[in-house]
Structure 1
Amino acid sequence: MKYFGSAEEAAAGIVKAFENPTALPAPLATLFVRTGDDIPCRKWSWRNQLLVALAGHTDARGFRQWQGVGRFVKKGEKSLTILAPIIKNVKDEETGQDKEILIGFRGIPVFGIGQTDGAPLPPADPEAERWVESLPLVEVARKWGLRVEVFEGEGSGRHGFYRRKQLIGLGVKNLSTWAHELVHAADDRAGNLKEKGQHWRSETVAQLGAAVLLRLLGSEEDADLGGSWRYIAGYALSERLDVVSACCAVLERVCEAVRLILDTAEEIAAAGAAKDETQVPVNS
């Protein structure tokens, strides 16, 4: 596996293109992932889905929910608490009609699938699994010990996320989002991801890095320069920066992350080639 060009050259070309945003292509249409499974936590609020991911679970349910699918919580397991809204019906003083208002939250204990035993669950949606397996450089994430999973993106408030040292989650089917989260992982692995939350620096690194990575892979359309410009502009505005200035401020960090991804891919390819050579039969 060989990559032509360099991260520095590709990054410089993209930053140059950002100088004239009106000439950039329109952002790619959003295509949400449909997992096709019946995992309740994938329909929970984003905050609760995040709590599940932070705990290292891919599936979490209440005690009785697990019983309903033929599984039981193992003795001694400690629950994870999620938040359920408390809704109250009140009469609107202006209209006289009943309406629902949020008055607070209550904690609900849930358990991850690894904390249970019992009947096997139905297999995950094969189409979603095939899509994950088709992602370019997915072997890099796995080499770094990261799980790559999908979630129902529509209505979740997120298109994707990176959970440090654990997981990349994808809620939309586009390579720009996948590359964005993979660059976050590389930035973290390189020791440069110091910011907490969605900070303008780390988000600019991830989105510019995604565009650079996909351009180097020859996926010009998937690099989504129009969408990348809009994404970075949203964060740059909070710092009173223009897009080009924001990109230039993190350019070295972007290139380091992209090179780390491609170097790891080359190592995986080289190891695979060496393994193949040792398995070639020798004619006697």
Structure 2
Amino acid sequence: MGKRIDEAVQKLLVMWETGDMPEVIKHTTLARQKGERPCDSWSLANQILMLLGLTEDARGFRQWEQVGRKVKKGAKAIYISGPCKHTREVVDEDTGEKVKRTFISGFKDIPVFRIEDTEGKPVEVTKPDYSPQQLPPLMDVAEAWDIPVKYTAGDGRAYGSYLSTPDRSFEQIVLRTHDASTFFHELSHAAHNRIRPLKGGQDPFQEIVAETCAAVLCLMYGYEGHVANARKYVAHYAKVKPEEATKGVMRALSDIEKVLDLILSTTAQPQERTA
């Protein structure tokens, strides 16, 4: 396994150094579908707060009453963030007339309750289905590690997220695209977290490891069109020019090889294309 990984990594680095790469494939995001739960229209940040609360449906006190359920006595709320809006008259620059405009002056905490902390009528809702017709390679690795993979609507900011508590009692991969490269990136974070505990947020070293691993896996499984995007991503976190992206990889090479070895030794799927 080590030799195959080394060959794939070296092939990637040569491509990045020479600039001899396949045509770039642009990332795609999943368009939001209409859902019946209030949380279907929440921001990504609020949906993540809900998921970290170990539920897939959370609503306000009155919202639960509207569907025939009530919050159990003693239940503790989880808090999402909502805008503080106010309306005032302003002069329209084009017409010179006074018009009413709504402005956001800040944000406030909004308490919501998990469906698990309510009782009453069964709630039957249609959840938007964002799953791809064909799952990407290496999905069996996430399954082997008991990591649920959730597809949801894009938010214009991030294509994916790997969520985990420090003790890994809760883990989840959230994807807002069907691009296999994004799944490879988040799966690499999960593998890295098994080698050493990850720091919170977008740590540059961790991002370089995850994206380089994702690029190598793209080569192995036939998604070469994402390799150029990966070079730009790594260069950004390494704070170098794109053509110097390999400089950012060298100090992370040991962890990159360990992450790839862990993933490829876990999967039962053969590579579609070898390096």
Pair 1:145 & 2:143 matched: no
Question: Could you say which structure has the higher helix fraction?
Answer: 1
Give how far 1:135 is off.
3.0
Give the corresponding residue for 1:279. none
The separation in 1 between residues aligned to 2:19 and 2:115, in whole angstroms, is: 47
Give the corresponding residue for 2:124. 121
Q: AA paired with 1:160? A: G
Given that 2:82 and 2:107 are in contact with CA atoms closer than 8 Å, whether structure 1 keeps it comes out as yes
Deviations 1:42-96 (CA, angstroms, capped at 9, x unpaired): 3222332232222222222212223334443333221111121111223447945
Give the corresponding residue for 1:80. 78
Deviations 1:159-194 (CA, angstroms, capped at 9, x unpaired): 11000131100111110111110100000011153x
Q: AA paired with 1:144? A: W
Give how far 1:36 is off.
5.4
Pair 1:11 & 2:9 matched: yes
The more displaced of 55-64 and 197-206 is 55-64
Superposition map of 1:17-96 within 5 A: 17-21=15-19, 23-32=21-30, 34=32, 37-92=35-90, 95=93
27 and 258 in structure 1: CA distance in 2 versus 1, 3 angstrom threshold: same
Secondary structure at 1:105's aligned position in 2?
A: strand
Give the corresponding residue for 1:214. 218
Q: AA paired with 2:151? A: V
The separation in 1 between residues aligned to 2:185 and 2:33, in whole angstroms, is: 21
Which residue of the other structure, out of 109, 113, 121, is the alignment partner of 2:111? Answer: 109
Q: AA paired with 1:128? A: Y
Superposition map of 1:241-256 within 5 A: 242-256=244-258
Give the corresponding residue for 1:177. 182
The TM-score with structure 1 as length reference comes to: 0.79
Given that 1:207 and 1:228 are in contact with CA atoms closer than 8 Å, whether structure 2 keeps it comes out as yes
Which residue of the other structure, out of 181, 185, 200, is the alignment partner of 1:196? Answer: 200
Identity across the alignment (%): 31
121 and 259 in structure 1: CA distance in 2 versus 1, 3 angstrom threshold: farther
Q: AA paired with 1:149? A: K
Give the corresponding residue for 1:158. 158
Give how far 1:138 is off.
1.9
Given that 1:192 and 1:253 are in contact with CA atoms closer than 8 Å, whether structure 2 keeps it comes out as no
Give how far 1:235 is off.
1.8
Secondary structure at 2:130's aligned position in 1?
A: helix
Unpaired stretches in structure 1, ≥5 consecutive residues = 270-284
Given that 1:21 and 1:229 are in contact with CA atoms closer than 8 Å, whether structure 2 keeps it comes out as no
The separation in 1 between residues aligned to 2:3 and 2:61, in whole angstroms, is: 54
Deviations 1:139-158 (CA, angstroms, capped at 9, x unpaired): 22122221211221144x22
Give the corresponding residue for 1:259. 261
The separation in 1 between residues aligned to 2:257 and 2:112, in whole angstroms, is: 41
The separation in 2 between residues aligned to 1:103 and 1:31, in whole angstroms, is: 30
The separation in 2 between residues aligned to 1:22 and 1:181, in whole angstroms, is: 26
Q: AA paired with 2:18? A: N
53 and 98 in structure 1: CA distance in 2 versus 1, 3 angstrom threshold: same
The more displaced of 39-48 and 7-16 is 39-48
Give the corresponding residue for 1:281. none
The separation in 2 between residues aligned to 1:91 and 1:34, in whole angstroms, is: 33
Give how far 1:257 is off.
0.9
101 and 109 in structure 1: CA distance in 2 versus 1, 3 angstrom threshold: same
Aligned length: 260
Give the corresponding residue for 1:276. none
Unpaired stretches in structure 2, ≥5 consecutive residues = 271-275
CA RMSD of aligned residues (A): 3.0
Secondary structure at 2:267's aligned position in 1?
A: helix
Q: AA paired with 1:84? A: G
Given that 1:69 and 1:121 are in contact with CA atoms closer than 8 Å, whether structure 2 keeps it comes out as no
Deviations 1:12-54 (CA, angstroms, capped at 9, x unpaired): 1111111134745223241415555333223222332232222
